[in-house]
Chain A
Amino acid sequence: MIKHLFKLIWNKKKQNFLLLSEIFISFMVIFGVFSFGVYAYKNYMAPMNIKYENVWVINYSNTLKTENADSLEMFYSSLKQNIQALPGVIEASYTSANFPYSTSMMNNGITYKGKQYFGVNNYRVDDDYLKTLGGNLIEGRWYRKADGAGKERVIVINKKLKDDVFGSGSAIGKYIDGNNSKDGRRVIGVVDDMKNFGDYQPAKYGMFERIDTSYRKWVGNMLVKVKPGADAAFEGKLYKTMANALKNSNIEIEHLDDKLSSTNKFTLVPLIILSIIAAFLIINVALGLFGVLWYNINKRRGEIGLRRAIGASGNSVSGQLVAESLILATLSLLIGSFFAAQFPLLNVFDLPAMVYVIALLMAVVFIYLLVFVCALYPGRQAANIYPAVALHEE
């Protein structure tokens, strides 16, 4: 019977071409939407590794006149101590502008054994950064005061970078950007990947550099972990403390959870718009499919009547029509899968191959279901055609 249906479809290839391409196009669209959806979901499922609740960020501008690095250092470390001493504050840390959910980026490349790794986010942080954000140390240690005095240059990297650069072995004690303590930087710690770009974006390569005296004047952000229930009054107090210390500075306080939700929106809105467009397209395709199948069946009433006369039951007629549609879907999906497979093969959007594979399987199942549902009703309708009436019409 399958062979018979293939023959029938092949001999009607001209009529079937429209349906075939319609299924093909909807498959490609669905595949695209699912790819981004799966990607977002996969990212969403990865742990955040940032305890952003009750973390505020103070943006300030350095208004101190002094160019002396040491006195700057002294000023800012005592300012931080004052902040930490406030009763509502749990922890505080200076950071470069690319703190979590900010819109700033600072990218570097590193080399290890002659191989270069690009797109490494460079975070300038201080000794309390990890504690303030509640990040996890996986290996080695985080920065401490003594690191400022040491002559050796040390570095903390994130897990993603470590996995790609050092594989499964330990990274502690290895040098990057050089082979020894003279020109290289010794890895002293590895932290769990933090999703700095929000819930729906993956963690990227990251390395954390301790803010040194020469960098101090460029720093303009402080992260403050406050006690739960800290209110506007407390925020005002925090503001005043900063404003008193830094005359004429532009000071602004934001909350990380607000920044996270706006970052998330930024990622999700395009996906939602894409989904809405896709949904309209799918409805269109479903109606089109339904219409074409409906039309086909009405055009084939004579054939249906004849098949009934020579021994097809109502169920076998509707089964045949559904099967024909599914065979058509299969042909479209074969072509579609060929094109879809080019995305991971050519690495078009830099998404993990697994994302494409899952999206492809989901799109295949979705299209089969769609075609099945669209074919079912016209198929049932065909089963109810009275053979005598259908044969009479022609």
Chain B
Amino acid sequence: MSQPAIKLAPPPPAKTEVSSSWRDGWRSFRKNRLAMVGLGIIVFFVLIAVLAPFIAPYDYKEQELVNRLHKPGGEHWFGTDDLGRDIFSRIIYGTRISLWVGISSVVGSIVAGTMLGIVAGYYGRWLDALISRFFDILLAFPGILLAIAIVAALGPSLQNALLAIAIVNVPVFGRLVRARVLSLREEEYIMAARAIGMKNSRILWQHILPNCLGPIIVQGTLGIATAIIEAAALGFLGMGAQPPEPEWGKMLSDSRQFIQNAPWTVIFPGLSIMLTVLGFNLIGDGLRDVLDPRMKS
């Protein structure tokens, strides 16, 4: 009836190896070849952006009017545009703009979206209703249209384009975080944290937020890619970076009339956009595989 009184044997030894889930993650990320290619591409572009003044053979503003629409060759590797500016140098400097726009706008969306999402998910009730409806309203407009409207209201500049892209992407992160918090709230360790008398703010910081980070990081890397495309689109429409800033989308739109005679003026900016977006997407996909428990063997 009662359990046999077993003498307390020394508890079984646990595994010795101490490793964090981050290190485990890196190990399996490294095995993902495509993700590593993506990481390679992004590291490559980051290096270019950082070292731009040392790599670029010319100033991106420097015009050689005698050498307009010069073919790619020894002197100008990627040729020159209609104002005789060196496309290679402009693309190198453009890397700075695109990476800056992509990363900072996504960081902005993440900060705002995460805060709103956590509050909505954790406190619920009318706050949730209010914040969720706000997200619905933002999502009701096509992203690029909303971004154009915001830039139109604020005036065209790179700063405003960045802000517009950030705002457009807030609900993407907000809804992601809210959904995650809703499921986390029911976890037993959250109940256990409350049972040891922890304050709400502390539970949010220590328990909820760290457990939301996985999906946020995945969505973030994918979001950088989208943000770069959106920035290029706004630039193409003349609502982003202003001349003579070498923004890739702007370079495309400025050169589209020469596409037949001087295709290099559009090919190289286009390729650059494609490569960075590809890089971030590959990293994002790789991270998703690493952080999704269902993908673990």
Our verdict on whether A and B bind, yes or no, reads no
CB within 8 Å of A: which residues of B? none
CB within 8 Å of B: which residues of A? none
